[in-house]
Amino acid sequence: GNSVTQMEGPVTLSEEAFLTINCTYTATGYPSLFWYVQYPGEGLQLLLKATKADDKGSNKGFEATYRKETTSFHLEKGSVQVSDSAVYFCALRGYRGSTLGRLYFGRGTQLTVWP
């Protein structure tokens, strides 16, 4: 079946540090992959996505590359800011049959950035 495993948090960094949040997936076929972000007290917002192998999604300085050979979609940012403090969710979109269109989420990683 479809599932997503992401790095457990919380992650605490100083401003301008490098960020990596690991995400691996299990799926049949060729799912699309996503990173969503949830700021305190709000709903989820799409951060970036990739729809096929070797695609790189990017937004607001964050990047993730769809690696089919390692079934991974790790989130990176070269220099984090205090405003990046949030919970980050990795997700995949079902590819076929009864799972088509459904999103499967990881458990989320809390990131806190200190000034």
Partner 1 sequence: NAGVTQTPKFQVLKTGQSMTLQCAQDMNHNSMYWYRQDPGMGLRLIYYSASEGTTDKGEVPNGYNVSRLNKREFSLRLESAAPSQTSVYFCASSSGGDTQYFGPGTRLTVL
Instruction: Return residues touching partner 1 (CB under 8 A).
Output: 4, 32, 34, 36, 41-46, 49, 51, 89, 93, 98, 101-103, 105-108
- Give, rounded to a whole angstrom, the gap between the first and last alpha carbons of the chain: 41
Residue 6 CB, nearest approach to partner 1 (Å): 8
Q: In 81-104, which positions are buried (b, 16+ CB within 10 angstroms) versus exposed (e)? A: eeebbbbbbbbbbbbeeebeeebb
Whose Cβ is closer to partner 1: residue 20's or residue 51's? 51
Residue 91 CB, nearest approach to partner 1 (Å): 8
Instruction: Report the distance separating Cα 45 and Cα 91, nearest Å.
Output: 12
Q: What is the largest CA-CA distance in the chain?
A: 47
Whose Cβ is closer to partner 1: residue 32's or residue 74's? 32
Whose Cβ is closer to partner 1: residue 17's or residue 103's? 103
